[in-house]
Structures are given as C-alpha cells and as structure tokens.
C-alpha cells in the first residue's frame, strides 16, 4: 500500500465515522466508485468500530469540557445537550444549587454548583438523556464513579457520588478552580521548562496512583488534565477507565484515537504501558506546545509511516536531552521498549526524587525502585577520610580501655585452653583412668555457681579488680569418653549447632569423665562413670590427694552431696584449702571400687554470693523469656501477614529468599567449623541433618517475618532500605553501600568505647558493678582461630536480627506517630530497657548504653539506613566480646589481632567504595 492510498483510506474512514450509519452506504458509493478494494478496506475499519468505540475528533473538542466523547456513529448531539439546561440559582436533587455552566462535551454537560448540605463547591457532570437510556453508557457512567473512588491522591480529581434527576444521571465531583491543560497550552503555547517538569511529575504521580489500584485510564489527554490556581493538576474523566486484565477485547479500542497507543488502536491489547504512551503524547505537548502528530491527524495502526513522531528537540531546540530521550522512549511502538511504569518516567525527570514520587502516588515502592533511589547520597571525599580518621581514634581508645576491662586480664593469668586440657588429662591419669579416650572436648565457661573461682588478691592490680563486673567467674571444663561424644538434646541439635556442652550428651555413660578447672589449672570438680573391675584399694583421702586437692589441714565431716553415680565411699572436709581464698572451703568426694567418681571444691562464698548470682541469672532468664515469648506471639501474626503479602505480590520474595539462604549458609558454615564432628559416618550425617533442619527452620522464620514486615518499612520509610536493597542485588561495591559500611564501622567503634566506659565508670565513682550476664558470650571467643571465625558468624547473624528488629520498631512508630522526632524518642525509650540490663550499673548503663548506644542506633538508622546499623552491630560485637590486649606475648593476642584487622578491613572496604566514582546515574539503574 502506497502512502498516498493509505492517507486516502484514512481520510474516507474518518469522514464516514462522523456520519450517521444510515448515510454511510450512499456516501461510500459516491466516494469509492468502482474501487471495490477501497470500499472493502473502509468497511472493514468501520466494522471494527462498535458502539463502544469513542471518537473524539479535534474539531469537536470543547476546551472547557471535562468530557468530550460521543458514541461512534452519532452526530454531535447538540439537541441532547441543550435539553440539559440549568440556570444560576436552580436547585438540583434538593441539594445542589447551580452556580454556572463550565462546559459541554460529547456525552454531557458540566456545571459548577454549591452543595447545600456540606457547604462546599462541587462540579456536577450530567449525562445526556439519550445516553442515560443506553444501558452501556449508563454502566460506563457508574463505572467512572466506582473506579475513580478507588483512587485517593492529590493529583486525581475526587469523585463523590452519583445521582438521578428527571431523565438523566449526574456525578458530583471535586471542583477545580482553573482550566484544563489543553486550554492552557492553546492560550500560552509550551510551558516554561521548570513548570513543565513540575506538571509532568504531578501527572506521573497521579497516573502511578491509578495504576497502583489496578486502574487503567485509557483516555489520558490534555483536556482531561485540570490545573487549579496553585498549579496543581487533577487527572479527570475515568469514564472509560477499566481494571487491568478485565477489559473485553471488543472494548480495547475505546478512547480518543489521537492519544491511543498503537496496540490499543489496532485492537490488540491495552496495558499500563498503553497509558505510558498516552502520557508521552501529553508530555510532548507540554514541552513543545504542539501535538505530536499534528492538529488534525489520526494514526490508524503501528505500521503508519508517522507512527513515531519527530523528537521534541527537533521542534524546540532547548528541550533537555534527558527529557527528549524520555518522551521518545514513551512513544515507542513496541510496548516493551517503553518505561515500565509512570514512576519510572518520573524517576528520569530532572531533579527526580524517586521515593518521594512513589510516596506521593500513595504507592509502596518496589525493592528495585528503592535500589534505584538515592543515587546522589554519597559522602564527600573529605568527609570519608574524616570518618576513617575518627574510627582510628575510637579504635585506639577501645584498645587502651579494653586491656583494663577485659576480665581475663583482670582476674589474673588465664592459661591457654590446650594447656588446661593437658592438665585435665594428666589429672584423670593420676586418678587411675588409663583408657585412651576415643573423643574429648573442652570450653571455657562462666558458671555463676562457682563464685569462689579466682580471688581478688591474685590480681596484680586492685583497681582493675574493682572494675571487674561481678558474677564473671572463669572456669574451664573438659570432657572425654571411650566412645564419640555425640549431642543428644533436641534443642542443642536444632538450635545450638550440635555442639558438645557440659550436660550434652548427658554424663551418664560408662567411660565418660568431666573435669572443671580454675584459670590456673587447679581442680574444682571431677565426675566419672568408671568401667571395668576394681582399680585399687586406695583410700578416698589418698585419691583426693592424687587429684591435687590437699585436705591434710582440713577437718573431716559427714558428706552432704550425692554423687551422680553409685559410690561405695563418701567423705567431706572443711577448713582452709591452700591459698585459693581466705574463706572456709568445703571438699566433697566419693569413690567406687577404688576410683574417684566425684569431687567438688566450694567455699562459703557461695552462700554470700547466691542472692547476687540469682539476680544475674534471673535477669538473663527474664530477657530470654521475653524474647521467646515475643517470638511465640509474633509467629502466627507474621505468618498471616506473610501469606497475605505473598498472595498480593507486595512482599519482597526475592529479598526474603536471599536473606533466608544467607542464614542457612552462615549457620552451616558455623557448624562445619565449630560443630561437633564424629568419625562415624551415620552419626555425622544424622548430626548434619539436625543442624540443617535447624538452619532451615531459622531461615524460614526469617523469611516469614521479612515478608510480613518489610513491605510496611518500604511503605512508610523506604529511605532506610536504599543501601540494603542495593546490597541484596549484589551491589557490594556501590558507593552508597560503601558509605553505609564506613559509617557503620565508625558507629560500632563508638559503641565499643561506650561499653568499655560502662565497665570502668562504676569504679570511677566508687560504685559497685552488678553481675555480668555476658560471660558465655565473651568466653566462647577464647578457643583459637576456628572458634573466632564461628563467633564472627554468630556476630553477623545477631547483628542482622538486631538491625531488622530496630528497623521494624522505628518504622511502625514512624507510621503511627507522624512527627519523626517524637517517634525517634519513643523508639529509644522502648529499645533501651532491652539492652541496659546487660550493663554494669543501672544509672551509668542508662546513659552509656541506653542513650549513647541505642540513641545513636536509632539515629544511624534514620540517617544512614539498615546496612549501617548491621555493620555497627558486627563491629561492636567483635570489639567487645573478643579478648583485647596490647601485649602480643599473651596467648590470645592473635584473637585480638583478628578482631582488630577485621574491623579495619570493613572500614577500609567502606572507605574505598565510598570514594568510587561518585553517584550512580539513576537512569542506568532503572535500565
């Protein structure tokens, strides 16, 4: 088909559309003559135009009209519109008093009126009587009300209600004191650049709000965009709007042809991207002052030679190149080549704030949208280097104070675990247990029942001893057996990484031996389950002497303790025992068939310390009970919300899955390095299976809570997730992620310094420190490089959970309390009681931990986002729970070096990436 014939067909088709159907055959006979192919093509096009198709030729548009459509095949019904006549002062439906007529269109008339009931000015849109009798048009009129009322947004014209009067229907809607965009462009031509960008951004926001409700406008054009006196726009006329995916194929071509997308005009499909095409045509006129395809031209389908108009820059030379590319992208004939959403269009406008546009549209921004936001949020190089210098200064302070607060140096010299394990084995051999152990394990412990361990006069520095938090009692336990030590407890297997503990497996099998030593290697307790015949006829006192406990100066007495296994000899002694303490000591012992099966060394200090130790244990159990109780309450709620968000597509499945996989990997890595492994293949597989079940169960909980709660954070506080979203998408070297890591390392060092001050401050003011509940956390880091790596994995998991918890609480408070400062203060007040009990003194910890640590955590979350808080949590755990010393001759100096080097590496990584090339262009992220 030649261009000339194509244009001729188009001209005849449009002329025929304006005629009553009865006049078309005679008219076509005269115009087509003997050209049967020409007539057949025109009749085919006319057949595709059913009664649902709306024709809105430019010469019939009324600028003042809010609706300029009429049914295909009908003439402009002036008589019908004239039948709708109201004068100023007339009262309609006993409620609305007419003020003036605003305009008329193809299907009705719009009046300004006063609502006498509510005392507000409204616009009344009357449907012409002949249309009101047509069920199809009456249905569309009601559909307009239903769909428009679903959308609540400042850039959408509000529709209030529908009513009937005499022989017609009317809609009451928001009155916009201004003019439509078509009238404005006709009057002044193209808009100034800054005003055009502002209007474009508002149109995108309104259209995005409609799409967020699943509503396709299908008739977006300048006459349907009103501007009020303040320059705020309203998108009007949802008469042919429809829900996406619910459009009948016969209704696809409804709309105004010169603003239809090619796929809509050809009757193939209509989607959000069809509205994006119409948006591109509107923006074309806004920025150039001219219609994309001329004033009187209609495009029939995408094969038209003029399907892609000239670029705006070819019409107006000073159009911004980014806007020029954006409009051209919107007008691509291929829907997949257009921007995917109105928000994506808004994001590429100059000065765009992607998250603000989404929130303004009343839409929950997607994770990809959040990752694409905040491109300009990067640190100045001078600030980056300043943060690194501040981190170095804080780290020096932590190192200096850490040698005075870490209790392993306060209580005196602590032997390495390998040395203590060797002492335990030699003690066992002295007591007549000669069998070679098939398996053994050991660990430091903080047993609050062993308060006599380590006397204060052993410490070389009384000031340092005074500063030590009470209740930290270092002991060392060693276990061995003639068969592999395999954990049995279900809670330990599933949630404890299947590690052998003092009580798991239960010490009740033949050949099992348990020894507890003090930091200097002196025996504190011994329990054995002997196997075989009688070993010797050695007396019980001699067996106790062989164990290294000198009871020669003590007074014998009746025993009070029952050993865990059968014994044929039991005896106790009390009095002064060597130089362990100035308090009286009690030794309980039991033997069976010439072998020592039980020995325990205690002092009267136990009775004095029991109330204090009980307080520490009680605080620890209350905190744990509160955490588990909260979890049990939240699990069903989280499951319900996660299911709903998953079904509606609001939840970030990809992010939740990546986080869950990360938890499984880090749990299994901790198991491989620090778990209990046995030479029995079946037992090893069983242990691995239990650990995997626990890891999957934990990751499933994480997945559920992330799916349940993350959408609310994206809805009310998406700025906190920008770096997090980029990190989940693999942006480990992104400048914004680097900034968050750098700031997180700095804040973590600051927290660590506050914890050191919290330990020392009571001694500065002459106050006594309360019992510490941190002992197990700190002592777990003393088992060498492998234990340090496992502790690092645990620190990462703990920091992720803690960061997500704080984020959730702050996000919910910010949603409930509209004033951010008040919400922040309330968040600190609620979070502080969760962390202050772990400090050394209520008043001092309230200031250092409650205000200092929790306060800066909430501030960092508000200012820098989730990644910064997680990194700070990892850093503070390394600096506080790892042993610190500047004496590199000490056996645990390598653990100090590990913690320091890792923290320096984290901050160095953040510094290097925060300096990488500045911000990432926004449009490249969206592409």
The candidate with the shortest Cα–Cα distance to 212, out of 244, 236, 237, 241, is 244
SS3 label, residue 274: helix
The candidate with the shortest Cα–Cα distance to 911, out of 737, 795, 747, is 737
CA distances from 874 to 38, 746, 752 (A): 77, 12, 11
Q: Which residues contact 801 (CB under 8 A, 6 or more apart)?
A: none
| Integer Cα distance of 581 and 458 in angstroms | 9
Task: Assign 3-class secondary structure to 407-473.
Answer: HHHHCCCCCCHHHHHHHHHHHHHHCCCCCCCCEEEEEEEECCCCCCCCCHHHCCCHHHHHHCCCCCC
CA distances from 305 to 3, 274, 619, 624 (A): 8, 20, 79, 73
| Integer Cα distance of 331 and 338 in angstroms | 7
- Going by the DSSP 8-state scheme, the letter that residue 552 receives in this structure is T
CB 884 within 8 A of CB 406: yes
In the residue annotation, 734 being an active-site residue is answered as: no
SS3 label, residue 562: coil
57: Cα separation from own chain's centroid: 50
| Integer Cα distance of 442 and 479 in angstroms | 6
| Integer Cα distance of 449 and 463 in angstroms | 25
| Integer Cα distance of 401 and 56 in angstroms | 80
CA distances from 818 to 205, 209, 721, 855, 880 (A): 22, 22, 19, 19, 36
Residue 436 CB burial class (10 angstroms; 0-12, 13-18, ≥19) = exposed
SS3 label, residue 852: helix
CB 450 within 8 A of CB 467: no
| Integer Cα distance of 9 and 3 in angstroms | 10
| Integer Cα distance of 42 and 16 in angstroms | 9
| Integer Cα distance of 514 and 502 in angstroms | 8
| Angle ∠(527,528,533) on CA atoms, nearest 5 | 150
- Residue 602 host element (H or E): strand 595-603
The candidate with the shortest Cα–Cα distance to 619, out of 833, 429, 795, is 833
Structural tokens at position 697: 């169960």
| Integer Cα distance of 687 and 692 in angstroms | 9
* Cis amide prior to 169 (ω within 30 degrees): no
Backbone φ/ψ region at 912: left (φ over 0), alpha (ψ -120 to 50), beta: alpha
Which residue is catalytic, options 67, 219, 251, 734? Answer: 219
Structural tokens at position 684: 């090893």
SS3 label, residue 401: helix
Task: Assign 3-class secondary structure to 202-238.
Answer: HHHHHHHHHHHCCEECCCCCHHHEEEECCCCEEECCC
| Integer Cα distance of 400 and 398 in angstroms | 6
Q: How many helices (H) and strands (E) does the chain have?
A: 34, 21
Residues carrying an active site annotation: 219
């Amino acid at each position: 088909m030649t261009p000339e014939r194509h244009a001729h067909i188009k001209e005849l088709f449009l002329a025929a559309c304006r005629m009553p159907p009865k006049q078309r055959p005679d008219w076509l006979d005269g115009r087509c003559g003997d050209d049967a192919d020409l007539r057949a093509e025109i009749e085919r096009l006319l057949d595709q135009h059913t009664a649902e198709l709306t024709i809105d030729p430019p010469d019939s548009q009324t600028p003042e009209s809010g609706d300029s459509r009429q049914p295909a095949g009908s003439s402009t019904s002036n008589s019908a519109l004239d039948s709708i006549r109201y004068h100023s002062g007339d009262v309609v439906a006993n409620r609305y008093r007419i003020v003036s007529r605003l305009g008329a269109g193809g299907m009705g008339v719009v009046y300004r009126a006063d609502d006498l009931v509510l005392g507000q000015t409204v616009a009344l849109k009357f449907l012409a009587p002949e249309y009101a009798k047509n069920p199809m048009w009456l249905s569309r009129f009601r559909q307009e009300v239903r769909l428009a009322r679903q959308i609540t947004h400042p850039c959408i014209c509000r529709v209030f209600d529908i009513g009937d009067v005499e022989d017609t229907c009317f809609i009451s809607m928001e009155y916009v004191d201004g003019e439509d965009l078509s009238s404005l462009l006709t009057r002044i031509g193209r808009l100034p650049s800054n005003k055009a960008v502002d209007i474009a951004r508002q149109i995108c926001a309104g259209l995005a709000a409609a799409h967020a409700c699943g509503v396709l406008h299908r008739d977006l054009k300048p006459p349907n965009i009103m501007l009020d006196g303040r320059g705020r726009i309203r998108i009007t006329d949802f008469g042919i709007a429809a829900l996406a995916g619910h459009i009948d194929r016969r209704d696809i071509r409804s709309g105004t042809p010169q603003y239809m997308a090619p796929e809509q005009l050809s009757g193939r499909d209509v989607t959000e991207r069809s509205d994006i095409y119409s948006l591109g045509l509107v923006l074309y006129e806004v920025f150039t002052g001219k219609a994309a395809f001329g004033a009187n031209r209609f495009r029939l389908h995408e094969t038209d030679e003029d399907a892609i108009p000239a670029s705006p820059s070819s019409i107006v030379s000073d159009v911004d190149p980014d806007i020029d590319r954006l409009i051209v992208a919107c007008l691509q004939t291929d829907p997949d080549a257009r921007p995917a959403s109105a928000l994506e269009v808004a994001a590429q406008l100059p000065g765009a704030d992607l998250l603000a546009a989404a929130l303004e549209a009343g839409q929950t921004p997607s994770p990809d949208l959040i990752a694409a936001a905040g491109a300009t949020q990067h640190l100045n190089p001078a600030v980056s280097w300043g943060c690194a210098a501040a981190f170095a200064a804080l780290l020096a302070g932590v190192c200096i104070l850490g040698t005075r607060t870490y209790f392993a140096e306060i209580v005196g010299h602590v032997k390495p675990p390998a040395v203590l394990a060797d002492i335990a084995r030699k003690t066992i051999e002295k007591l007549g247990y000669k069998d070679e152990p098939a398996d053994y394990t050991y660990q430091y412990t903080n047993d609050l029942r062993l308060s006599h361990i380590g006397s204060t006069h052993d410490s070389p520095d009384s000031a340092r001893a005074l500063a030590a938090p009470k209740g930290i009692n270092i002991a060392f336990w060693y276990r061995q057996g003639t068969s592999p030590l395999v954990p049995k407890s279900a809670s330990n297997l599933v949630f404890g990484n299947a590690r052998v503990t003092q009580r798991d497996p239960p010490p009740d099998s033949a050949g099992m031996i348990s020894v507890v030593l003090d930091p200097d290697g002196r025996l504190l307790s011994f329990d054995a389950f002997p196997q075989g015949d009688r070993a010797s006829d050695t007396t019980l006192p001699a067996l106790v002497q062989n164990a290294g406990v000198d009871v020669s100066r003590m007074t014998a007495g009746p025993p009070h303790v029952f050993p865990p296994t059968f014994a044929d000899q039991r005896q106790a002694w009390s009095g002064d025992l060597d130089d362990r303490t100035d308090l009286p000591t009690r030794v309980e012992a039991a033997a069976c068939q010439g072998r020592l099966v039980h020995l325990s060394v205690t002092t009267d200090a136990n009775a004095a310390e029991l109330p204090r130790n009980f307080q520490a244990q009680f605080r620890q159990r209350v905190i744990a009970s509160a955490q588990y109780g909260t979890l049990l309450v939240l699990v069903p709620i989280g499951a319900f919300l996660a299911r709903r968000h998953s079904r509606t597509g609001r939840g970030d499945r990809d992010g939740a899955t990546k986080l869950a996989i990360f938890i499984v990997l880090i749990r299994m890595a901790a198991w491989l390095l620090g778990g209990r492994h046995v030479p029995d293949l079946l037992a090893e597989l069983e242990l691995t299976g239990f650990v995997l079940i626990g890891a999957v169960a934990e990751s499933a909980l994480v997945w559920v809570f992330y799916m349940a709660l993350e959408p609310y954070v994206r809805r009310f506080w998406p700025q906190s997730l920008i770096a997090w979203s980029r990190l989940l998408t693999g942006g480990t070297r992104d400048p914004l992620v680097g900034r968050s890591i750098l700031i997180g390392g700095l804040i973590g060092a600051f927290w660590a310094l506050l914890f050191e001050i919290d330990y020392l401050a009571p001694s500065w003011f002459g106050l006594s420190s309360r019992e510490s509940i941190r002992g197990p956390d700190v002592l777990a880091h003393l088992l060498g490089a492998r234990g340090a790596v496992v502790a690092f994995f645990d620190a990462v998991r703990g920091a992720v959970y803690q960061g997500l918890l704080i984020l959730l609480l702050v996000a919910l408070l910010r949603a409930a309390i509209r004033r951010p400062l008040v919400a922040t203060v309330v968040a600190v007040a609620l979070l502080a009681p969760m962390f202050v009990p772990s400090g050394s003194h209520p008043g001092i910890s309230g200031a250092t931990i409650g205000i200092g640590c929790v306060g800066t955590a909430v501030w960092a979350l508000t200012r820098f986002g989730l990644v910064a808080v997680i990194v700070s949590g990892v850093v503070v755990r390394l600096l506080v729970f790892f042993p610190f010393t500047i004496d590199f001759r000490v056996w645990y100096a390598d653990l100090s070096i590990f913690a320091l080097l890792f923290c320096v590496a984290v901050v160095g990584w953040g510094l290097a990436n925060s300096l990488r090339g500045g911000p990432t262009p926004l449009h490249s992220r969206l592409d």
